Each structure stands twice: as structure tokens, then as C-alpha cells.
A and B are shown apart, each in its own frame.
Chain A
Amino acid sequence: MILKLAFRNILRQKRRSLLTGLSMTGGFVISVFSFSLTEGTYGNAIDFFTRNHTGHIQIHAGDYHKRPKVYKTIEGLDSIEALLGTENRIKSFSPRVFAPALAYSGSETSIVSVIGVNPLLESKTSRLKEKVQSGKYFDQKMTESGFFKVMIGAGVSRTLDIGVGDEIVLISQGADGSTANDLFEVVATVGNKSSFDNMVVYLPLGAAQEFLSIYDEVHEYALLTDDVSKSRTIANSFQEDIDHVVDGLTVSPWQVVESSFYKSMRADQQGNYFILGIIIFLVCIGVLNTVLMSVLERTREFGVLRAIGSRPVDIFKLIFIETMLLTTLSILFGLILTIPLLIFLTQVGFLLPQPIDMGGVQLYELKGTVSSIVLIIPALIIYIFSSLVTIIPGLRACTITPRSAMSSH
């Protein structure tokens, strides 16, 4: 009966309840919209760059990530790879080597980055294979002409004016201080001018190790986990495991590897949360007004309820249930409204007229996502604020003496 009483009290001032309910519904829908878009956009961005190159977790020797040097290599690859093979949460891994180099072909020269990867493992860890624009994804074998195969970024192709089938000479410095130089054959071009690897030359891992004189050593392992959201936890636990196997390695989640993107994402998210907080605050001012008005109008009635034996807590409970009921109805209505909105956001989204640069990651479209967080957090915030704004009117109603309450009009 208390629920019935609460429900009928809500319907007593239909117009007011409707307006309050709609403001809560509006607050909920805006919050869900914003959460969905923020989570979705960043989710896509994180997926984009972690799958594009970074991976979810990286392993380096010491401070290689901050101060990369060609001689700061990871040793003991067999032990590391054996350990990686036993870790269920790691879906795939890819060893890599890096070095700056001077590339030339014909009369053209260019500064490039050399990245050595295991073609098979890399294709399971990043989207390198999918980025091939012309030619064929490379392998470890040599060409018929006896050269190692390489894939080049779009910028290298344009600057040196070379393509599939052409030769390219790379000059660099080996880890032992020797001059590294060799001739390679281009078998594919990858990405486009806006890709991060625009000026990259990909070498098969063995070729790159030989080129840089770092036999059986690499600079980096990129790992893919089964859940990107748990990267930090997995990295921490894997750091402990790997410390037992090889000394001096640093395991970093993508949040550390791409700290500039992560920080700008967090700052942007906090800005969004602040705006959402203001919206929900305004909604709750409306709720407070409604509850206060309702309590003031029904003071005499509360006096009667107290007179016939309701405890103060019963009165508070009634006001609380009324607010929670209105909040629940508003959120349910909001949920109905958000269904088509979420379908649109997740399936269609917004195409940006100009890409947004987010810490180096280019966002071309904004798409939403649906998750428990997207729906539960806005609902929870509205519930919490509604509960809080009930306290003052509720206390007022339950602490007034029955005589004072009944003499009010």
C-alpha cells in the first residue's frame, strides 16, 4: 500500500511530476548519450592505435621506452616467449627491433625508421597485414634476386619515388658501432600519408637483427591481451612473473606507452564528466523543488499520518519512495528513448568533417558504445542525487510535531 500511496501522490500533481520526470529523463538521456559517445570514441581510438601498432602491453629493456638506443636490447627471448606462451590472458605477441636509418634509391634519399618484425607474429598482433596497399605482405624468405624483402610506408614510397619491385638501400649504425648497410627489395607499400608508419621501412625480424648486429635480441615485445581494459592489471602481474625469468625488463600497459594520448583522453573525459555533473545538478535542483513543494503542500497530511501512528521514519520513507519511484519511472522512460539513440550511435555515429587529433591519434568519426557502464553510471548518479535531495524535505516532514503540521494550511 505504501507503494500505491507513493504512486498516487506522484499523480496528485500530474503536470509537476511530469515536468520533473521529464527533466530527469532528459538528464539521463543526455548522460547516456555523452557516456556512450565518449566511451565509444575512446574505445575505438584505443582499439585503433593499440591494434595498429602499440599493442595492449609492451616489454622493453630498462628505460628503452623513454630513451631508446639501438644497444638497449632484450635478451633471453626463448625464456620470455615460453612464459608468454603460458599466460592465458595474452592472445598474441610480436617481437620488434627499431632503428633510424638513411634510405636511398636512385638519386633520392630520405631519413626513415626501420622496424623489424616477425611477419607471422606481427600479423596476429597488429593490423600491419591489413594495411598493405600494393604488393604482397612480406615473409622471412629472400627474393629470387637474393635480397631480403621489405615493406615501405607511403611517405617513403613518395619521397624516394619507388614502389613494389624496386630496390632500396638502408644505411644505419649497428649495435656494435659498426656501419650497417644493405640492399633490400620492396615487396609492398603500407598505409597512407597520415599513417604513423608513413616514413617506416619494415624488415623481416631476422634481416633487421642481422642488419643492426643484434642477433637473437629485440627491442620490444608488443602483446595483445584478451581484454584491453585489464591491460594495466595484466601488465603489473606479468612484470612480477617476468622478473623471475629475465632481469631488467619493463612491462608497460598502453596507458604508459601512449601516455600523451592517455592523459589527453583522461582530461577530455573529466571535462565531459564535469559538464554532465552540471546537467545532473540542474536536474536535481528541479527534483528538490518538486519534493519541497510536495512536502510543504502536504504538511497537514503528514501531521494526520503522524497523529494516527506513523513513525517519523515512515514519513521519511514515504517521501523517499515517492522520489525513487519518480526517478525509476523517469529512467525507465529514458531507457526506452535511449534505445534508438544508442542504435544510431553504435551503428551510424557521426562522421567528422575534419579529423580530430587526440594525442597523435586521428579520429575520423565518433561512434558510441553500449555497455553496462554507459547505462548504469548515469542511472546511479541520478538515483544518488535524487536520494540526496530528498533528505532535507524528508527530515523537515518527519521532524515537525503533529500539532504544528496539522495547524498548517
Chain B
Amino acid sequence: MEYVIETENICRFFGEDDLRAAALDDVSIQIKPGEFSAVIGPSGSGKTTFLQLVGGLDNPTSGKILLSGMNIAEMTNRELSDFRRDHIGFIFQSYNLIPVLSAEENIEYIMLLQDIPASKRHERVREMLFLVGLEGLGDRRPAQLSGGQQQRVAVARAMASGPDIILADEPTANLDSATGASLLDIMRRLNEEQNMTFVFSTHDRNIMDRARRLIHLHDGKIESDEIK
């Protein structure tokens, strides 16, 4: 498998007739395993839409998306859910943790969906919490954690299922620069140590500096694709 993500001429339009607007227009990208890439561009350029499409959260108006060589348009709802569960990790700008679950339970939940035995789940949760530097805070609910800590939990949750791809939608946007940098360190380390593929959408200069590939979107089209 040469590419983990491959899009062919994908378009995503919203609205109809005169109100029809292109969020993505004829975008073709190939991303190899282990890449640490960032999709950049001004607000409204289509970054989030791109991540949602390659994450199988939305369907393109036209075009084809292959994830690990599989065409997601041909998957049933259930297959797509299972594919997301096993192959894709999401990190959202606003953390999106389940408020009634503790940090540990938020991380464990996805493994529960994978039917992983309890002992193995608990071991993996401890490992993930250690990896993101939150040992001892596992029993706290999201509301009892700072923004940075919540985003670390989100990173740990995204990693817990052992995905091939991590899609991070402006993961540092709500964090101060020091916290953002430290989180980025964690993600970079995971990328290097576990060869996970990271795709960010971001405005953050820090991420742009560290990314090895910058895909610049403008008005839904690829303006530039720079490999450092």
C-alpha cells in the first residue's frame, strides 16, 4: 500500500442553485504512511471539510476517496463506522470529550467498541495516559481538566485504538502557545516512534514549522503542496 490517504478530484458543495458554494473543488492528494502533514489556509478555505471527508464523516459531492486502498464510498454505514474505529483517530479543536466520562473512560470507550478485553483496555489506558503526561489524572472528568489536559486526553483517545491515521482539526487553536507546543511534541514523538500518519488542519505557525508537508488550500482548491 503506497498511500494511506488518496483523494481523486473530490468536490464538496454546500447549498443548492444560486446559494451553492464550493467548500472543496477538485482536490487530489496522496498521503503516504508516516507523513506529518498540515493542511493550511485561511478560514473558509476548506481545511475542515477536507479532514471530514478523508475521515469519512461526510460524503463528497463528487470524486473518490481511498483510505488504506479502500474506497469509502463503497462502504456501508456500519463498515465505515468500523473503519473509523479501527483506522482513524480524530482530534478536534474543541476536544469533544464525553463530559460524563472520566479521562480514563474517554480513552477506554473506543477500545470497548473494539471489543478489547477489560484487562488489556486498562493497561492501554495507563500507557496512553503516561504517553500524554496525564498519569494520576485519569479519574477526572473533562470539566475538571484544563484545556491543554483535555486535548491531551483527546490525543490519547485518538491513539488508543491503534489507528493508521490521525486527523487533527486545529488541535492547538484553543491552547496557549506553550501548551500547544508541548502537545505537538507528543504528537511528533508518536509519529516518529510509531510511524503514525498525522494530518493537521491548522493556522498555527508552530505546527506549520514542524510539519514535513504543507498543503495550502485556498477557496477549496489546492494552491500549493510543499514537501520540506
- Which A residues have a C-beta under 8 Å from some C-beta of B? 1-2, 4-5, 8-9, 11-12, 300-301, 304-314, 401-403, 406
Main secondary structure of the interface of A (DSSP, over half): helix
- Which B residues have a C-beta under 8 Å from some C-beta of A? 52, 55, 57-59, 77-78, 81-82, 84-86, 89-90, 92, 96, 98-101, 105, 108-110, 112-114, 157, 161
Whether B57 pairs with A308 at a CB distance below 8 angstroms is no
Whether B101 pairs with A308 at a CB distance below 8 angstroms is no
Q: Provide 18 A-B residue pairs closer than 8 Å at the C-beta atoms, listed in order of the A residue.
A: A1-B108, A1-B109, A5-B109, A8-B100, A11-B100, A301-B99, A305-B98, A307-B96, A308-B84, A308-B113, A309-B86, A310-B81, A310-B85, A311-B81, A312-B78, A401-B57, A406-B92, A406-B96
Whether A307 pairs with B57 at a CB distance below 8 angstroms is yes
User: Which of A300, A314, A402 is B113 in contact with, Cβ under 8 Å?
Assistant: A314
Whether B110 pairs with A308 at a CB distance below 8 angstroms is yes
How long is the Cα–Cα vector from A310 to B113 in the complex, in angstroms? Answer: 7
How long is the Cα–Cα vector from A12 to B101 in the complex, in angstroms? Answer: 11
Whether A312 pairs with B101 at a CB distance below 8 angstroms is no
Q: Find the B residue at minimum CB distance from A308.
A: B110
Whether B84 pairs with A307 at a CB distance below 8 angstroms is yes
Q: Find the B residue at minimum CB distance from A310.
A: B113
How long is the Cα–Cα vector from A145 to B82 in the complex, in angstroms? Answer: 100
Write the nearest CB–CB distance from B97 to chain A, whole angstroms: 8
Q: Across chains A and B, which 9 residue pairs bring their CB atoms closest together, nearest first?
A: A309-B85, A8-B100, A403-B58, A402-B57, A304-B96, A311-B81, A403-B57, A309-B84, A403-B52
Write the nearest CB–CB distance from A322 to chain B, whole angstroms: 11
Whether B100 pairs with A308 at a CB distance below 8 angstroms is no
How long is the Cα–Cα vector from A47 to B44 in the complex, in angstroms? Answer: 80
Q: Find the B residue at minimum CB distance from A300.
A: B96
Whether B96 pairs with A312 at a CB distance below 8 angstroms is no
Whether A307 pairs with B98 at a CB distance below 8 angstroms is no
The interface residues of chain B lying within 8 Å CB-to-CB of A310 are 81, 85, 113
Write the nearest CB–CB distance from A267 to chain B, whole angstroms: 50
The interface residues of chain B lying within 8 Å CB-to-CB of A4 are 105
The interface residues of chain A lying within 8 Å CB-to-CB of B157 are 308
